[in-house]
Structure 1
Amino acid sequence: MESKVTTQNSKTQIPPTKPTKDFLNRLEIYLAKRDGVDKLLKISRYATKIILASSIIPETQNPLINRLKSFESSVGISRKAFRLGKFVQDVNALRTANFSSGYDLDLFLCLIAYGGEGLYYFIEQFVWLGKAGLIDKRHLNRLQKMSAWCEFVGYFGSVSLKVRELRKISENERCLMTSIELSELRGIGCEEEMGKLRKLREKKLMKKLSTIQDLADGLMALADIRDGKGKLSAPMLVSSAGLLSAIISTHKNWLAC
């Protein structure tokens, strides 16, 4: 009787194995997200911009160039439609930030980062309405300039925050490495510390990629502010920065699935 009870208990204690997601299931989850589709459109848009900025297609093939320009323009308008209401996530981020602890540089940078990005996404809704023809296009240039400035300010705050976070991660990494070295000298097992170090290095890598992405997007915002003037606003450089940003964001969203 006791053997039956223990057998039943042992059966109930075995956790069910979760089925691993194959590529198509993961792709379905990825495409169900707004950011997933948006970044795929971003890749296609800036890949097209790179083709147009290069000499891959001869100038004699005007019909193909015109089609690529039309495709790039329509994808850009489509991406703006995907940003409808996206400013709400920045509003919520500001709501959850703790501003009651007095002056703190991190909180100030959060205000710049989320405030700038939130205003950018909010104004982009009106830019989309202008490009779609619902709003008089006389206001379009002013709205685009305001949008670019808000985006640039937001990325300045975001990069500053991530650089500070990278410093903290590096300090924690050094502390863990010192602890592991001492444990090895004493002959003590340090499997738990090794696991923490591995996760910390993965977090550090993703934070570095995210910083590079923000720098690339900030470069594009600066090009919009300067109306494409200057060496940093060269079409090939800006298009390459946009493609790099899209690939990094796609990688992060894919891992999140």
Structure 2
Amino acid sequence: MEAKKPCSKERDFLNHLESYLAKRDGVDKLLKISRYASKIILSSSLLQEPHPLSHRLKSFESSVGISRKAFRLGKFVQDINALRTASFESKQDVLLNLIAYGGEGVYYFVEQFVWLGKSGLIDKKNLYTLQKISAWAEFIGYFGSIALKVRDLKSICEAERRCESSVEIAMLRGNGYEMEVKEIDKLKEKKLMKKLSVVQDCADGLMAFADIRDGKGLGSSPFFIASAGMLSALISTHKNWLSC
């Protein structure tokens, strides 16, 4: 079978879409957008409880939520492999990676049993406890993930400053600096994507914290949490679209 060509900016849209939808994460993010769009509508004044579409949207949102959990089957393996292949330069690296990938790995692993409980295959008596463990693991994982990405951002900014200094020196000497300009453009794009990743992790962490608190407390209004979920879904969809 002929290997598929990597995505490019000139790639045909339908071919790009086919490649995107062939990935587990691609379909998952579209489901995520659908789910949080439904939550936003249900939590706003657009649809009140007596409205005939209200019950249908609730049923749809619940069904999509269960479907997304099915897409996470075996996904914890990627976190195990990430820890196995990570290069640690300091004890801080070890700690942050363990928190980030360990927390996410536990979250994905427990989510498998949450899915089995919600789908009715196993007894639901421990479902609440499993959901709490899942939420806590996810929340803790985001601490490590955000810390790692903030550190990466600092490294990118330092590399960008070095390239800018090289350009200034080259301009003073009258030398060419086309390569440095291209590198700066790449670093700026990389910096933007890393910032979006931090925003996404903050939004997802906020939702995990709301799950821990059972949707109670400051900043846990259904509309606010649903909006955070939609923001996260759009960012992750954009990232996956570019990287497919």
- Please indicate the TM-score interval, normalised by the length of the shorter structure: over 0.9
Q: Match for residue 57 of structure 1? A: 47
Cα shift at 1:106: 2.2
Cα shift at 1:187: 1.3
Q: Does residue 209 in structure 1 map to residue 208 in structure 2?
A: no
1:85-141 deviations in whole A, cap 9, x for unaligned? Answer: 000000000111235x5x431221011100000000000000000000111111000
3-state SS of paired residue (1:189): coil
Cα shift at 1:44: 0.3
Q: Match for residue 9 of structure 1? A: none
Q: Match for residue 70 of structure 2? A: 81
Aligned partner (choices 96, 104, 123) of residue 85 of structure 2:
96
Q: How many Å separate the matches in 2 of 1:238 and 1:58?
A: 18
Aligned partner (choices 110, 115, 118) of residue 105 of structure 2:
118
Aligned partner (choices 157, 170, 174) of residue 161 of structure 2:
174
Once the two structures are superposed, the pairs formed by residues 93-242 of structure 1 within 5 Å of their partners are 93-99=82-88, 103-242=90-229
Q: How many Å separate the matches in 2 of 1:214 and 1:149?
A: 14
Can you give the 5+ residue segments of structure 2 that lack an aligned partner in the other structure? 1-7
Cα shift at 1:47: 0.5
Can you give the 5+ residue segments of structure 1 that lack an aligned partner in the other structure? 1-17
Q: How many Å separate the matches in 2 of 1:22 and 1:143?
A: 44
TM-score between both structures, scaled by the size of structure 1: 0.89
Q: Match for residue 4 of structure 1? A: none
Q: How many Å separate the matches in 1 of 2:212 and 2:47?
A: 29
3-state SS of paired residue (1:83): coil
Structure number, greater radius of gyration:
1
Q: Match for residue 27 of structure 1? A: 17
1:173-200 deviations in whole A, cap 9, x for unaligned? Answer: 1111111111112211100111111111
Percent identity between the aligned chains? 70
Could you list the structure 1 runs, at least 4 aligned residues long, displaced by more than 6 angstroms after superposition: none
Instruction: Name the count of aligned residue pairs.
Output: 237
Once the two structures are superposed, the pairs formed by residues 11-22 of structure 1 within 5 Å of their partners are 21-22=11-12
Superposition CA RMSD, Å: 1.5
Alignment-mate amino acid for residue 170 of structure 2: S
Alignment-mate amino acid for residue 254 of structure 1: W
Q: How many Å separate the matches in 1 of 2:173 and 2:221?
A: 57
Q: How many Å separate the matches in 1 of 2:40 and 2:238?
A: 20
3-state SS of paired residue (1:229): coil
Q: Match for residue 43 of structure 1? A: 33
TM-score between both structures, scaled by the size of structure 2: 0.94
Q: How many Å separate the matches in 2 of 1:39 and 1:232?
A: 24
Contact between 2:42 and 2:48, CA under 8 Å: does it hold in 1?
no
